């Protein structure tokens, strides 16, 4: 089942449209266009970069196989900073860092 979404224009330097999830549980979550699938060494994870509508700070979560998620505890100033941190983690620790059997939080 697809989540209901709306596209809005945010006041950003690029003035790019952002996808906003609108559900009863999450009334306004902005999902960055930098979110999406990432594959390395035959392993695919889903990178989710998001923030509350009107909120400050982007959150980063990496999901593997729907049951295993890694989240960063501290928000990032921009969605690009969140994406860059994800890529640094992959380079430093490898894609296998996101395959643990338990969900984890990175500080």
One digit per residue, the tens of pLDDT, for the chain of length 107 reads: 344 343 333 444 444 444 544 445 555 788 999 999 999 999 999 999 999 888 889 999 999 987 889 999 999 999 999 999 999 999 999 999 998 755 555 64
Specify the pTM: 0.72
- 23 lies in some domain: no
* Token code pair at residue 59: 């959150």
9: three-class secondary structure by DSSP: strand
How deeply is 98 buried, as exposed, middle or buried, from its count of CB atoms within 10 A (0-12, 13-18, 19+)? buried
Tell me, what DSSP letter sits at residue 97?
G
- 11 lies in some domain: no
* Token code pair at residue 17: 């449209």
Residue 92: per-residue pLDDT: 95
Residue 39 sits in which domain range? Answer: 28-106
- 14 lies in some domain: no
Provide the number of structural domains found in the chain: 1
- 48 lies in some domain: yes
């Amino acid at each position: 089942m697809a989540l209901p979404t709306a596209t809005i224009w945010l006041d950003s330097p690029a003035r790019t449209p952002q996808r906003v999830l609108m559900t009863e549980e999450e009334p306004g979550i902005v999902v960055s266009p930098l979110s999406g699938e990432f594959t390395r060494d035959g392993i695919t994870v889903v990178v989710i970069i998001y923030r509350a509508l009107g909120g400050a700070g982007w959150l980063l979560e990496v999901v593997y196989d729907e049951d295993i998620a890694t989240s960063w505890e501290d928000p990032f100033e921009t969605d690009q900073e969140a994406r860059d941190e994800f890529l640094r983690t992959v380079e430093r620790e490898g894609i296998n860092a996101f395959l643990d059997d338990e969900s984890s939080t990175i500080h």
